[in-house]
Structure 1
Amino acid sequence: MGSLSNDSKTENGTILGNIKDVAVIGAGISGVVSAAHLLRAGFNVTVFERTGVVGGVWDYEPQPDRAPPFPNVRPPSPNWSEVEKEGLSSDEVELIHAPPNPCYAGLKNNIPTPVMRSSLLRWPEGSEDFVDQKVVNTYINDIARIHKVNDHVQFHTRVENVSKPEGDSKWTVKTSTFTRTDSGHTLTKKTWKFDAVVVASGHYHTPFVPDIPGLATWKQHFPDRIIHSKQYRTPAPFANQTVLIIGAGVSAVDIANETAALGAKIIQSRRVSKYDVLGPRLPKDVVRVPLVSKFIIDEDSEDAKTQPLKPGHAIPGKAILEDGQVIEGIDRVVIATGYITTYPFLGDLEQPLVPWQDADDKVLITSDGYITHNLHKDVFYIPDPSLAFIGVSHYVSTFSLFDFQAQVAAKVFAGHAKLPPQSVMKQEHKERKARFQPDDKFHSMFAVEDAYVEEVLDWVNGDAAKAGQEPLPGLDEEWHAGYKVFKERLKSSRGP
């Protein structure tokens, strides 16, 4: 990875300069607001989106993604050539080239709309605090349309490699574009050059599947009964069944509520942590239990030899919990354990076999599949800040914070805000890691993002004032008032 040559380095920090052409990877909310703010600042912007639409995880399509490997616990190595396998139909190639997002039909925002909004567009007058995915998707598409982002998007185009060779002043971006034709399809490879790259591809692509003994065997024997939440679309297949949900995040709670409304009996297995704040939103009759330690198949059962299981027949086996409890009569299992953070196009900057503790000062992703290392303020890649990430921060107001981070990136790329010296950024990152506890979420801003915003504003606006530039307004009083209420709600809901 080369170092940045189109900048001005001083003892007091680094000012990026001569950035004109910027690539944005992803056209979800992070990519759309990044592109919009960069366009407003006068940059030439190209957005790469592997699907055919704007919206990211908020775009619903009935077709689910393929099942992930069981288990799936670390960032996988990319297999870009899989689409070239002989015998694949155009539909199969498109599914591999642009895997469907995890959006389910009943998805709603879990952050109130007054707190979850872009500075680029207000929600329609009278919008409720919690709205369905169609409303959210329309909101994102409206931002893209109003701010002319769509004119700059390369649709059906996936990014396969981003690199900056030693001594090069520009980033090389290699892409593959899927196009349907009268006779089938084509895949077109292209190489681009950019002064800067914004990674806004999101978290929700590669499912994390825990390595629980026996789970892979259950999946192998009863593939349609064991799914990751990314494959969930509607509650109909779960009606009046006993459903074991593993996980305690938003999707686990949503799936529990949707399926319980159709008569499903819900058993939720989860690890107790300070982030388990959604318990009050679960159905009233849900049974909450410790984590599953083992899945066992009853090999002597006739059902164990039947493929697929007959309707109305439970999975022939049992789940053993960490406290020794035994659960039987399970019809379906939903693995709602989240996702692996991975940027497969970043080559050697992703090291899936290296423990997070052993990350050097260049690597971005390690075996934990969660921490994005070596970022300043969760945005700028410390060795070369012309590579930026929008949307890495976790447990945040999403749209609002990502919009703010996009504005900061635009200011820095324009040279209106100066980054600290690399040594200072490295030391700050080192100290942050030293405070990190294994059970914590490294990028979590759980109930503290307002402090983060103020800290970044002090830095950016201090430099902007010295340069005679307009200051960033930050998040308005309406957001701060709403966020204060939201924080109190989070604290009051935290429980066992």
Structure 2
Amino acid sequence: MTYINNTKKLAIIGAGPGGLATARVFLRNCPQYRIDLFEKQSSIGGVWNYDDNNKDGKVMYDHLETNICKQLMQFSDFPFPEDVSTFPKRKDVLHYLKSYYEKFLKNKDNLVMHLETKVENIEKVETESKWRITTINLSNKETKTELYDYVIVSNGHYEYCNFPTNILGMKESLEEKMVFHSKDFQNCQFAKDKTVVVIGNGSSGQDIVVQLATVAKKVYNSVNELSKNDMIHDLLWEMGCVEFVPKIVECDAKTHTVSLLDGRVINDIDYIICATGYKYNFPFMEKRLKNILLTNNPNGDIASDSGSGRVYNLWEQILYTNDHSIGFILLSQMIIPFPLAELQAAVLSQVFENKIHIPHTFKPDNNSESYHSFPELTDIEYYRHLQKLLDDTNYDPTSNFKPVKWDTYHRELRSTSKDNKTERNKMLIKHAKILREKGLPYKLIPIEEDELEKLA
């Protein structure tokens, strides 16, 4: 490929949903850019790129379906196939992402895909106002260094596990292999006739409890608050092997016990699974920039195998406040990721083209680790705010990329999503109960037996 000297160069880090969406948007909005998309795996898909024969380091597990319905989850003007379940299975999502790549990105003249290529270092070259990026091809070990005008980081935040730091004995129990993170959960078979504690009741925690309940002798789910009149909890209680307990204050791998906040001690624990989320990290960033982003202190220190509960010094969660030539996609949580990635990329495209004014001073953001979370459907207001930023530039969706617009229809779809997933979880628990009665390990409901699909 031949490029003229004044061609702007953009590096996108990560070819998961966020990176793919960013590439699609920039190909449309900034056709004059040369785009390099770097992915360390051998195929696109990010966390959804799951090999049944090689679970190591992957967030997914065997029997997973999404917690968002396909109508809400889909990219702009790119619906899931009709034969895909309402809550798509992980393999359906990977196929969907590959179809997205084939339609919008493959064989585009100004996009180069670099698979099996790990980004080793990103640093700003102030004298040239460019970013120097060093990469290594994991296949042939060849290293390259190149300069870029812009960088967009979309490396995900499901690699660096977050473990509870306030539980005595946690470190020793990890070393003894009694404790592991939900990232390392593959299926329930290891738990047959075992007693297992699951810490956390988010999407993964709830999923894992349900799956374990088909084969385990006993499952304890340690949660921050014991809900009352919760139908999901009631259904799990009815299985006879699941019990909800308060926070754990201590675990002991030698005695195989856990001590609870209410003073109780649970004996004969075989495993503890921490479904306690993940930390942010940018191991490829030069040290000072990484510290500013992850500790809010240029002299801070983040271990290469650790991370931070949040990212600092951001405008609208997508742009580094001290340098408007580097952006971030999908740092936010409790959101609808695929359409949001496209919307965030559309805003960044206008920032890079100087069509959105960035204030010189910024109101201090929420300093807590909940900064990236949008609970209770507050994400809708964030989407609409980003859309307004575009609208204020006279953004023309006929000549530019057209992101999902969060109108009344989409708001209603989002507003009912939590209740819809609750109803779905009831079906999954009833399915798990039947499997337990039959002495079978957990598996997904076959589509031909799925009551939800019969109603669709």
TM-score category by the smaller chain? 0.7 to 0.9
Preserved contact between residue 36 and residue 148 of structure 1 (Cα < 8 Å): yes
The answer for the alignment partner of 1:337 in structure 2 is: 276
* DSSP 3-state at the match of 1:464: coil
The answer for the alignment partner of 2:16 in structure 1 is: 28
After superposition, give the CA deviation of every residue in 1:290-316 in whole Å (9 maximum; x if it has no partner).
121112244xxxxxxxxxxxxxxxxx4
Residue 233 (1) aligns with residue 186 (2) = yes
- Report the CA distance between 1:364 and its aligned residue: 12
- Report the CA distance between 1:279 and its aligned residue: 5.4
Question: In structure 2, which of residues 174, 187, 202 is the aligned counterpart of residue 249 of structure 1?
Answer: 202
Residue 392 (1) aligns with residue 348 (2) = no
Unpaired stretches in structure 1, ≥5 consecutive residues: 1-17, 66-99, 180-185, 299-315
Question: In structure 2, which of residues 27, 36, 41 is the aligned counterpart of residue 46 of structure 1?
Answer: 36
Preserved contact between residue 26 and residue 50 of structure 1 (Cα < 8 Å): yes
Trace 1:251-270 onto structure 2 (pairs within 5 A): 251-270=204-223
Residue 195 (1) aligns with residue 149 (2) = yes
Residue 217 (1) aligns with residue 172 (2) = yes
Preserved contact between residue 223 and residue 247 of structure 2 (Cα < 8 Å): yes
Question: In structure 1, which of residues 128, 137, 145 is the aligned counterpart of residue 102 of structure 2?
Answer: 145
Preserved contact between residue 253 and residue 278 of structure 1 (Cα < 8 Å): no
**Alpha-carbon distance in structure 2 between the residues aligned to 1:476 and 1:297:** 50
**Alpha-carbon distance in structure 2 between the residues aligned to 1:273 and 1:462:** 46
Judged with a 3 Å threshold, the aligned counterparts in structure 2 of structure 1 residues 492 and 335 are, in CA distance, closer, same or farther, namely same
Judged with a 3 Å threshold, the aligned counterparts in structure 2 of structure 1 residues 108 and 198 are, in CA distance, closer, same or farther, namely same
**Alpha-carbon distance in structure 2 between the residues aligned to 1:476 and 1:118:** 13
Judged with a 3 Å threshold, the aligned counterparts in structure 2 of structure 1 residues 115 and 386 are, in CA distance, closer, same or farther, namely same
Question: Which residue type is aligned with residue 60 of structure 2?
Answer: C
Number of equivalent positions: 402
- Report the CA distance between 1:445 and its aligned residue: 1.8
**Alpha-carbon distance in structure 2 between the residues aligned to 1:138 and 1:466:** 31
Preserved contact between residue 226 and residue 246 of structure 2 (Cα < 8 Å): no
The answer for the alignment partner of 2:63 in structure 1 is: 106
Judged with a 3 Å threshold, the aligned counterparts in structure 2 of structure 1 residues 419 and 115 are, in CA distance, closer, same or farther, namely same
After superposition, give the CA deviation of every residue in 1:261-311 in whole Å (9 maximum; x if it has no partner).
23442101122399xx9955973442111121112244xxxxxxxxxxxxx
* DSSP 3-state at the match of 1:115: helix
Residue 168 (1) aligns with residue 128 (2) = yes
- Report the CA distance between 1:373 and its aligned residue: 0.9
Question: Which residue type is aligned with residue 142 of structure 2?
Answer: T
Question: In structure 2, which of residues 289, 297, 303 is the aligned counterpart of residue 349 of structure 1?
Answer: 289
The answer for the alignment partner of 1:442 in structure 2 is: 371
Question: Which residue type is aligned with residue 137 of structure 2?
Answer: T
Residue 461 (1) aligns with residue 391 (2) = yes
* DSSP 3-state at the match of 2:146: strand
**Alpha-carbon distance in structure 2 between the residues aligned to 1:327 and 1:463:** 60
After superposition, give the CA deviation of every residue in 1:469-496 in whole Å (9 maximum; x if it has no partner).
7695542544333112226668999xxx
**Alpha-carbon distance in structure 1 between the residues aligned to 2:206 and 2:418:** 20
The answer for the alignment partner of 2:45 in structure 1 is: 55
Preserved contact between residue 335 and residue 374 of structure 2 (Cα < 8 Å): yes
- Report the CA distance between 1:459 and its aligned residue: 2.0
Residue 64 (1) aligns with residue 55 (2) = yes
The answer for the alignment partner of 1:303 in structure 2 is: none
* DSSP 3-state at the match of 1:345: coil
**Alpha-carbon distance in structure 2 between the residues aligned to 1:351 and 1:420:** 23
Preserved contact between residue 249 and residue 278 of structure 1 (Cα < 8 Å): no
- Report the CA distance between 1:394 and its aligned residue: 0.9
Judged with a 3 Å threshold, the aligned counterparts in structure 2 of structure 1 residues 281 and 54 are, in CA distance, closer, same or farther, namely farther
- Report the CA distance between 1:136 and its aligned residue: 0.6
After superposition, give the CA deviation of every residue in 1:119-139 in whole Å (9 maximum; x if it has no partner).
151111253321210001111
- Report the CA distance between 1:154 and its aligned residue: 0.7
- Report the CA distance between 1:460 and its aligned residue: 1.6
**Alpha-carbon distance in structure 2 between the residues aligned to 1:297 and 1:147:** 51
The answer for the alignment partner of 1:11 in structure 2 is: none
**Alpha-carbon distance in structure 2 between the residues aligned to 1:294 and 1:264:** 22
- Report the CA distance between 1:54 and its aligned residue: 0.8
* DSSP 3-state at the match of 1:287: strand
The answer for the alignment partner of 1:289 in structure 2 is: 245
Preserved contact between residue 213 and residue 294 of structure 1 (Cα < 8 Å): yes
**Alpha-carbon distance in structure 2 between the residues aligned to 1:479 and 1:337:** 30
* DSSP 3-state at the match of 2:151: strand
* DSSP 3-state at the match of 2:126: coil
Judged with a 3 Å threshold, the aligned counterparts in structure 2 of structure 1 residues 297 and 232 are, in CA distance, closer, same or farther, namely closer
Preserved contact between residue 256 and residue 270 of structure 2 (Cα < 8 Å): no
| TM-score normalized with structure 1 length | 0.73
Judged with a 3 Å threshold, the aligned counterparts in structure 2 of structure 1 residues 278 and 141 are, in CA distance, closer, same or farther, namely farther
Residue 420 (1) aligns with residue 358 (2) = yes
Residue 117 (1) aligns with residue 95 (2) = no
Once structures 1 and 2 are overlaid, which stretch shifts more, 322-331 or 363-372?
363-372
Judged with a 3 Å threshold, the aligned counterparts in structure 2 of structure 1 residues 340 and 252 are, in CA distance, closer, same or farther, namely same
* DSSP 3-state at the match of 1:409: helix
- Report the CA distance between 1:116 and its aligned residue: 1.1
After superposition, give the CA deviation of every residue in 1:34-61 in whole Å (9 maximum; x if it has no partner).
1111122212211111110111111222
**Alpha-carbon distance in structure 2 between the residues aligned to 1:103 and 1:241:** 22
Residue 158 (1) aligns with residue 118 (2) = yes
**Alpha-carbon distance in structure 1 between the residues aligned to 2:404 and 2:313:** 25
* DSSP 3-state at the match of 1:319: strand
